[in-house]
């Protein structure tokens, strides 16, 4: 972890600071800070080849680990597990006269997951979650667990809207202890499992991402974690449709992300069929004007919902088509 003095310094580098690598001699002009964490700070920077993201840290071991993970990710074809690695070098900091290791990544332009959901509606949560589970399944097959999975580490790029995983600092080899976590998305915090790096750890976090996207209130554990989460799921119309899937993930019953993904798709199709299939005819009664207005509003709502579902299915079809092409 960075020392307090160096953390403050690296987090407050002035706009326009030029980082020049000691070995490769590539230069990067810092434009603005994108984020910071326990192991470093990330800046948007200008390079000869366009915009990039530069991560600086004083923790050589952490930088080496993250670079190795990004290199590993680059070998996994067909899914965007993380940004592409572009450069690795050291910077002689002229202010503190210290060598600061850094690496340069692809800058992914897009919206944060929470911002995208606020703008486009929580109907998108399922589409993006399906994409996330595909990416996690690939990652788990490579022997890794993402670890610090949370909305802030997800970006929606596109078009078509495509989820991307950011900040690989918490990625951990399966079987080891999770390196980094955020309490709200950590099953240990909720008393629902260990912090051992295994696929079910990430799937619990994915479930919490879905819950917080649908219920953006401030959450903290109060008493029995499972009962509290179950109560939240049952109170929300959308979450209630996926109650069985979410509970299996909360209880750590999924061994693979692909299993959870299949169950979400099945629940989605069941929900669609039950909503739009006509009910058996009942004995007709004369309708009052109020009843007619109520029926008209209900019919209008069903049509709007059908259209939303159709649009989401089209978008998902486009996403699958692009995945097959690439």
- Known active-site residue 148: yes
Q: Which of 58, 137, 148, 167 is catalytic?
A: 148
Residue 35, classified by CB atoms within 10 Å of its CB into exposed (0-12), middle (13-18) or buried (19+), is: middle
Q: Under 8 Å CB-to-CB from 318, ≥6 apart: which residues? A: 160
On whether 55 is known to bind a ligand per the annotation, the reply is yes
**Considering just the CA atoms, what is the radius of gyration of the chain in Å?**
23
- Going by DSSP bridges, is the β-strand pair 27-37/50-56 parallel, antiparallel, or unpaired? unpaired
**Cβ-proximal residues to 201 (8 Å cutoff; 6+ apart), any chain:** 145, 147, 178, 187, 193, 195
Both structure tokens of 213: 């996207």
* DSSP-based three-state secondary structure for 217: coil
DSSP single-letter state for residue 177: B
Q: Which residues are annotated as a binding site?
A: 55
Active site residues: 148
Q: Which residues are annotated as a binding site for ATP?
A: 55
């Amino acid at each position: 972890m960075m020392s307090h003095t160096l953390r403050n310094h690296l987090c407050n580098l002035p706009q326009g600071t030029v980082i020049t690598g000691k070995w490769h001699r590539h230069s990067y002009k810092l434009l603005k800070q994108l984020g910071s964490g326990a192991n470093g700070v990330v800046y948007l920077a200008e390079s000869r080849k366009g915009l990039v993201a530069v991560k600086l840290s004083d923790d050589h071991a952490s930088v080496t680990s993250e670079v190795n993970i990004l290199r590993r990710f680059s070998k996994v074809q067909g899914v965007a597990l993380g940004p592409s690695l572009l450069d690795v070098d050291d910077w002689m900091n002229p202010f503190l006269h210290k060598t600061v290791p850094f690496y340069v990544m692809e800058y992914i332009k897009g919206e944060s997951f929470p911002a995208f959901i606020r703008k486009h509606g929580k109907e998108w949560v399922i589409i993006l979650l399906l994409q996330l589970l595909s990416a996690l399944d690939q990652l788990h097959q490579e022997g890794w667990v993402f670890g610090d999975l949370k909305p802030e580490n997800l970006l929606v790029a596109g078009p078509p809207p495509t989820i991307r995983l950011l900040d690989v600092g918490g990625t951990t080899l399966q079987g080891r202890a999770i390196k980094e976590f955020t309490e709200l998305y950590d099953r240990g915090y909720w008393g629902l499992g260990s912090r051992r790096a295994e696929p079910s750890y990430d799937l619990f976090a994915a479930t919490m991402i879905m819950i917080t996207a649908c219920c953006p209130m401030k959450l903290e554990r109060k008493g029995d974690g499972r009962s509290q989460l179950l109560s939240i799921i049952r109170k929300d119309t959308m979450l209630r449709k996926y109650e069985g899937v979410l509970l299996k993930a909360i209880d750590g019953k999924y061994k693979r992300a692909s299993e959870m993904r299949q169950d979400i798709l099945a629940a989605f199709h069941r929900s669609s069929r039950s909503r739009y299939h006509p009910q058996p005819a009942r004995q007709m009664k004369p309708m009052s004007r109020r009843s007619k207005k109520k029926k008209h509003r209900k019919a209008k709502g069903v049509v709007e919902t059908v259209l939303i579902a159709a649009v989401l299915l089209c978008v998902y079809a486009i996403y699958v088509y692009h995945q097959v092409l690439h």
